[in-house]
């Protein structure tokens, strides 16, 4: 769990202001719940409360605080429906997510949150049943906005399904560079059973 000083330093680095009031408000329930305090305000709705009290830049400070603590920005109901654990971390994440969270990972999340995506998201892999969950967890849309987009997604998804399949083309495989070829050979050798290595 990050310290108050860490949260203030993050805000100063990214926003030029420590936003001490924001961090104190977000962690106010630590006195009551200890490490389980995140369910009260560490979510998108908490950010929106900060926005209404202190403005947009303060809301960015709240988002940075939550990204430092939770590694993403959950919704308030994610704590009650079991999408996240009591610390705000996604339950679907592997155990290593609890241990490995580098400063580079955090920086990437903050930049993505403050500046937006640096690339295109290919949406076509998301089926019609899962789009609501995707939009609810990966965007800042309200539940009403998600429902509106879901209607539009249903139309777009059915159009995509009506398109003819792409014809496969016969492409010549590119030669594998020798450095990669030797790496694959060493992995294949190591993956074989001990008896097969003796025979070879």
Helix (H, G, I), strand (E, B) or coil at 142: coil
pLDDT at 196: 45
Mean pLDDT of 40-58: 96
Residue 79, pLDDT above cutoff 80: yes
CA nearest 159: which of 133, 120, 123?
123
Q: Is the pLDDT of residue 10 over 50?
A: yes
Cα separation, 105 vs 110, in Å, equals 9
Span 138-197, pLDDT tens digits:
777 778 888 888 888 878 777 777 877 767 666 677 777 777 777 666 655 554 544 444
pLDDT, residue 122, reads 52
Residue 81 CB coordination number (10 Å): 8
Calculate helix-pair angle for 4-15, 56-70, nearest 10 degrees: 130
State what percent of residues in the chain have pLDDT above 90.
40
pLDDT for residue 59 is more than 90: yes
Q: Which residue has the tokens 């940075």?
A: 64
Give the torsion through C-alpha atoms of 12, 51, 62, 27, to 10 deg: 120
Nearest CA to 69 out of 56, 48, 86, 52 is that of 86
Provide the residue ranges of all domains of the chain, joining segments of one domain with +.
4-115, 123-162
Q: Which tens digit of pLDDT belongs to each residue from 80-100?
A: 999 999 999 888 887 777 777
What pLDDT does residue 190 have?
A: 54
The more confidently predicted of residues 178 and 106 is: 106
Round to whole Å and give the CA distance between 181 and 178: 5
């Amino acid at each position: 769990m990050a310290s108050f000083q860490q949260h203030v330093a993050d805000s100063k680095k990214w926003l030029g202001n420590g936003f001490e009031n924001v961090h104190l408000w977000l962690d106010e329930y630590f006195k009551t719940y200890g490490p389980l305090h995140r369910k009260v305000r560490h979510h998108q709705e908490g950010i929106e409360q900060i926005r209404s009290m202190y403005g947009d830049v303060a809301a960015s400070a709240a988002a940075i605080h939550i990204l430092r603590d939770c590694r993403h920005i959950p919704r308030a109901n994610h704590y009650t429906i079991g999408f996240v654990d009591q610390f705000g971390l996604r339950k679907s994440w592997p155990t290593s997510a609890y241990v490995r969270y580098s400063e580079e990972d955090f920086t990437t999340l903050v930049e993505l949150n403050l500046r937006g995506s640096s690339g295109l998201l290919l949406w076509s892999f998301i089926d019609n049943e899962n789009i609501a969950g995707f939009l609810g967890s990966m965007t800042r849309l309200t539940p009403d906005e998600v429902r509106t987009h879901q209607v539009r997604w249903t139309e777009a998804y059915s159009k995509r399904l009506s398109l003819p399949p792409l014809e496969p083309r016969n492409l010549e495989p590119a030669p594998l560079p020798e450095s990669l070829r030797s790496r694959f050979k060493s992995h294949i050798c190591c993956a074989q059973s001990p008896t097969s290595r003796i025979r070879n």
